[in-house]
Chain A
Amino acid sequence: MGFIHPYDRPNSYIGRTLPRSRAMRAVAGRGRYTDDITPPRTLHAAFVRSPYAHAKILNIDTAAAKAAPGVKLVMTGAELAEICTGPWVGTLKVFDNMKAEPQYPMAVDRACWHGEPVVMVVAETRAQAEDAGEMVMVEYEELPVVIRKEKAIEPGSPVIHPNLGDNIAWEKVIGTGDVEKAFAEADHVLEETFEFGRHTAVSLEPRIVLSEYDPGTEKLTIHTSSQCPHMIETVFARTLGVPEHKVRIVAPDVGGSFGLKIHTFGDEIAATAAAIKLARPVKFVADRLESFVSDIHARENRVKAKIGIMNDGTLVAAEIDDLSGVGAYSQYPRTSVFEANQILHISFGPYKHPNYRAKATVVYLNAVPTSQYRAVGHPIGISVAEYMMDWAADVTGLDPFDIRRKNVMEDDSYPRIIGSGLPMKDLSHQACLEKLRTLMNYDDLRAEQAELRKKGIYRGIGVAGFIKGTAPSPVGYYGAGGARIAAQDATTVKLEPSGGVIVSLGVTDQGQGVDTVMEQIAAAAIGCSTDMVRAISGDTDATPYGGGTYASRATAIGGEATYQAALDLRREILHMAGILLQKDAEELDIVDGNVVDFGSSEARIPLSEIGRIGHFQLGELPNDYQPVLSHTRRYRLQDSPYIYTNGIHGAYVEVDVDTGWIKHLKHWVVEDCGRIINPQLADEQIRGGCVQGLGGALYEHCIYDDAGQLQNGTMADYVTPMAFEMPDIEVGHVETPTSESELGAKGAGESGTGAAPGVMMNAVNDAIKPLTSGRVKEQPITPEVVLKALGKI
């Protein structure tokens, strides 16, 4: 008698591949994205953006634009500032001594990056709004531009925001042990400097808002492509002075997000202000050209690294010094220093070196603001550490697998604290490492590599281990930092009169399969088929307040809330069935949507009958029992700052040593995201994440000239990975459920992106090793970078 864990039941939905209902809609062309929705009388906004990286706005003449066909409103940044509640400031209290300039939705008297919105035009059609935008005359006076991070910290550099005193946003040093002593005592000390280029999300569906205001009810409804509806509801409400409970955010289908769609964008605030002012729906879609100069960018780091190694390959000390070039402002409300903070904390994270020191310096530039993008900071920290580990292997004559075997934290050694001070638990570096070695047939690959080298074919094998922070807690950053960003999440699970189950989620689905995963968890916990369960997400009027989907948290945090809420509903169903059957609830079970005697599968009462009685035939129940049949649970991480995951990538590449061209032949990942709910969806998160990481490693680069002009802001010039360049990706798992929750799921969405750049850099360096003492230490690894390492240019 009693309770069998849903994941221990035969044919459980937990651990089963099921298709996604959203996918069935999308393949038929019936996806419903925000731009597919156009209410009557919708107007369209377009923006005049700064052509300069830094310029004073002397005068704006909007007369001709206002008189242009179809135009309903022309608004300058100064005019918008008057109807907004004031500038926002992108700081968090947890980042000591961080400095940030207040930011308005559009430039008021000064533009600080190429692409900053300056004037908004609202017209009957987008084409008319753009036509009129060209008639707006803005007189600028150019100001000195700060665009190179190394120069931004030099004495005498122009200062972007004079109120801040200098261009430094934040400095931080962390560490344990005594690195100086360890370096002095080490057999080998290795030092290197790395460069990581700036890149951006390029979600295929651009940013978009469709804002509607009803002056009668004073209700503001915004359809928007967002990962975090509740967070952005708060942002819109507070910046526009609308009470938060009168704002509804709907995120319908979202065409890719990757961290881009968790931030505040001034053009979206402006378009919404126009909807309130005009009392007509206003739609704003960022076109691709303006996406490149207004979507958040990410990365742009120079990292100096130093390690101490003993002759037997033991890592005794590691030190990094990061210089991050962020944009003109600190992105609100998550800040632009998070990436640097992550680099400090996760670099060399798999290893048990006793001495660690890490320093970050974050500087403002006259460029698009940077902020959280898939795998925040991890690609940089992992690339640096794994490069250094491979170099240490070379110096000590060890194989890359062997040096990692020697230095990773043992699987039976948790809980423990790593050098950056972070607590680790439930990790499996050793198991993942051995599994990867088998999966990639490592010895055979090495033999093939050696054979081919004799024929002048240069192939390289890379490995790169990692830790990845997922599912942040409220104590670490956002809540404690003062930002109104929920680290908890909530799910309501309710039984309908039909016996069907509705699951309302605070977390959201951008195609990862969150809805399906939650339906599986609820069905498994209750004991019914997934056909009887329907998830609702992405609507703040229909879902409990939650943080949404960011930082690989949906299944880890929202999944536990769903699991517990579904168990509550299950308990109530059994309680009611016990009354109706005059049995102890402990003697009953739910199987396939029927209440049964425990241990049997014979139906006693179907859920449809529980639903009917619970909603309509309450006279059959005793007076002291009022059925609820709707249960909400919240879940937050408690003691740990994150649920850490781990894993390791392998890569096999061929380098054309004459052209520098890299052909990626095969990619492997073994990772541990804890309990897996839907294996196919988990694998596809890993695969998609890898390719996004490989894009940054090989091709993607937002290139600025010295005047702060973005040189390649089109999809033709900014190169993203396409099918032909990318390899097949084999995925394996080690499942160590997290001890933080009952469900045991960890995050899976970002670990592909986090480690793919590092494994690519190691594979390329392994390929060219016979020909040169030079190494690739720069990303993206363009053919030019490879040829430089080969000493050919």
Chain B
Amino acid sequence: MSEEMVTVNMTVNGENVTKTIPVRMHLVDFVRTELGFTGSHLGCEHGVCGACSVRVDGDVVRGCLILAAQAEGAEVVTIEGLTDTGEISDLQDKFVERNALQCGFCTPGMLMTAAELLAQKSDMSREDIREFMSGNYCRCTGYHAIVDAIESVNNTRLKG
């Protein structure tokens, strides 16, 4: 039984990549092991925890529920890409200042989801933030500081 392979082409963090990989390889394994973008993490491998969240063609998806082959031709952005473009530098700074992370394992996924929420550019209550962020599991913080950080960045962005 030999491994069935496929050649995929996509843009990851702004660069074109072409790789021949096992058909069954998930997108998060692809970016981690084939490309070295280890900022996306594996927490549950069945779409519950959100640690593997990556952006595919503008939408945040679970990297453990999509095969790399399904991202053929897509534009994929990981936490490393978001960092390099500076798109969420205000959010990252606030997470650090407010200590909205402890072990940091959930943080890349948390930031991906928060970036999507903040892109709505709308007034939001703490309840709204909590509801939107409820697909991302954090065992360390108890969420309060995460909500503080997102709320603060949203307020600043709306004023700006």
CB contact under 8 A between A688 and B141, given known A204-B105, A255-B41, A255-B105: yes
Specify which of A27, A30, A512 lies most central, judged by the most chain B CB atoms within 10 Å of its CB: A27
Residue B48 at the A interface, CB < 8 A? Answer: yes
CB contact under 8 A between A256 and B96, given known A69-B3, A512-B102, A723-B130: no
In angstroms, how far is the closest chain A Cβ from the Cβ of B2? 7
In angstroms, how far is the closest chain B Cβ from the Cβ of A723? 4
CB-defined interface of A17-48 with B at 8 Å, one 1/0 digit per residue?
00110111111111111011010000000000
Within 72-87 of B, Cβ neighbours of A (below 8 Å) are at: 78-80, 82-83
> Are A20 and B38 closer than 8 Å at their CB atoms?
no
Residue A3 at the B interface, CB < 8 A? Answer: no
> Are B99 and A722 closer than 8 Å at their CB atoms?
no
CB-defined interface of B118-148 with A at 8 Å, one 1/0 digit per residue?
0000000011011101111111111111110
Residue A258 at the B interface, CB < 8 A? Answer: yes
What residue of chain A has the Cβ atom nearest to residue B82's Cβ? A29
What residue of chain B has the Cβ atom nearest to residue A685's Cβ? B102
> Are A28 and B103 closer than 8 Å at their CB atoms?
no
> Are B96 and A690 closer than 8 Å at their CB atoms?
no
In angstroms, how far is the closest chain A Cβ from the Cβ of B137? 6
Residues of A within 8 A of B106 (CB): 204
Q: How many residues of A contact B (CB 8 A)?
A: 63
Residues of B within 8 A of A729 (CB): 142, 144
Residue A249 at the B interface, CB < 8 A? Answer: no
> Are B43 and A204 closer than 8 Å at their CB atoms?
yes
Residues of A within 8 A of B107 (CB): 26-27, 31
> Are B99 and A23 closer than 8 Å at their CB atoms?
yes
In angstroms, how far is the closest chain B Cβ from the Cβ of A254? 6
What residue of chain B has the Cβ atom nearest to residue A722's Cβ? B134
> Are A256 and B103 closer than 8 Å at their CB atoms?
yes
What residue of chain A has the Cβ atom nearest to residue B79's Cβ? A29
Q: How many residues of B contact A (CB 8 A)?
A: 60
Q: Which one, A558-566, A583-591, A712-720, is touching chain B?
A: A712-720
Residues of A within 8 A of B32 (CB): 36
Residues of A within 8 A of B22 (CB): 127
CB-defined interface of A110-128 with B at 8 Å, one 1/0 digit per residue?
0000000000000000011
Q: Total A-B residue pairs with C-beta atoms closer than 8 Å?
A: 183
CB-defined interface of A574-602 with B at 8 Å, one 1/0 digit per residue?
00000000000000000000000000000
Residue B154 at the A interface, CB < 8 A? Answer: no
> Are B138 and A127 closer than 8 Å at their CB atoms?
no
Complex: A175 Cα to B136 Cα, angstroms: 46
> Are B137 and A720 closer than 8 Å at their CB atoms?
yes
> Are B80 and A29 closer than 8 Å at their CB atoms?
yes
Within 11-67 of B, Cβ neighbours of A (below 8 Å) are at: 22, 24, 32-33, 37-46, 48-49, 51
Choose one: A19, A30, A35, A205; the contact of B97 (CB below 8 Å).
Answer: A19
CB-defined interface of A675-692 with B at 8 Å, one 1/0 digit per residue?
000001100100111111
Residues of B within 8 A of A383 (CB): none
> Are A31 and B39 closer than 8 Å at their CB atoms?
yes
> Are A27 and B96 closer than 8 Å at their CB atoms?
yes
Choose one: B3, B33, B39, B138; the contact of A28 (CB below 8 Å).
Answer: B39
Specify which of B1, B107, B108 lies most central, judged by the most chain A CB atoms within 10 Å of its CB: B107
Within 700-755 of A, Cβ neighbours of B (below 8 Å) are at: 714-716, 720-726, 728-729, 752
> Are B142 and A255 closer than 8 Å at their CB atoms?
no
Residues of B within 8 A of A258 (CB): 139
10 A-B pairs, CB-CB below 8 angstroms? A27-B92, A30-B39, A31-B105, A69-B3, A204-B49, A256-B102, A256-B105, A723-B138, A726-B143, A728-B126
Residue positions of A touching B, CB distance < 8 A: 19-20, 22-33, 35-36, 38, 68-69, 127-128, 131, 201-206, 253-258, 285, 287-288, 510-513, 680-681, 684, 687-692, 714-716, 720-726, 728-729, 752
Residue positions of B touching A, CB distance < 8 A: 1-3, 22, 24, 32-33, 37-46, 48-49, 51, 78-80, 82-83, 92, 95-99, 101-108, 111, 126-127, 129-131, 133-147
Which 5 A-B pairs give the minimum distances between C-beta atoms?
A29-B39, A26-B104, A255-B105, A511-B102, A29-B79
